[in-house]
Structure 1
Amino acid sequence: MLEMILFIALGGVFLSMLGLFYRVIKGPSVADRVIALDSIGISLISVVGLVSIILRTSNYLEVILLIGILAFIGTVAFSKFIEKGEIIERDRNQ
């Protein structure tokens, strides 16, 4: 019973990821695309977590942490680019 629920949850997450990929491609604004990319990262974390539960192993927990860190850094970089137009600020007075 639990395995069936986990597979249904996995399918639901995959369906939501398809909708998010559509939002990344057809998003009306850049901010919508950034939010969709962040949501894809969160969905990917949940997929890895569900697969880890299905396989009854804890070896994928480091992968979850790595994906979370990369998704956070990517979201911060995109947000900074949207706000200021550049990611790395350089001192132009020198």
Structure 2
Amino acid sequence: MIVVIIIAGLLFAAGAVGALWRIIRGPSALDRIIASDVLVATAMCAIGAEMAINRHTDTLPVLLGLALFGIVGSVSVARFLASRDDT
């Protein structure tokens, strides 16, 4: 079980580093926005895995807050880009 936890942690870390790299180096704003969504999704998966491993629900409000942030952020950016393309 420890090996699976370590492998999952390394994969979450690799995903977060890749998303951070794209946020820093992204050539366009849309690349940075998508990378921030990936970073939020990676954090949500890591929190969910931690909850499953330790068998608790203490961080469930944090998980729900991140989910809300991801949805609201994506919708607001999509509306902003759609209104900018209309003009």
TM-score (norm 2): 0.84
User: How many angstroms does 1:47 deviate by?
Assistant: 1.0
Specify the alignment match of 2:65 in structure 1: 66
1:20 aligns with 2:15: no
1:43 aligns with 2:32: no
In structure 1, list runs of 5 or more residues that go unmatched.
86-94
Aligned residues: 84
In structure 2, list runs of 5 or more residues that go unmatched.
none
Specify the alignment match of 1:81 in structure 2: 80
How big is each residue's C-alpha offset from its partner over 1:47-93, in whole Å with a ceiling of 9 and x where there is no partner?
101111222212222221111011111111122222224xxxxxxxx
User: How many angstroms does 1:24 deviate by?
Assistant: 0.8
User: RMSD over aligned Cα, in angstroms?
Assistant: 1.4
Specify the alignment match of 1:92 in structure 2: none
Contact 1:3 1:54 in 2 (8 A): no
Aligned-pair identity in percent equals: 26
Q: Return structure 1 stretches of 4+ with deviation > 4 angstroms.
A: none
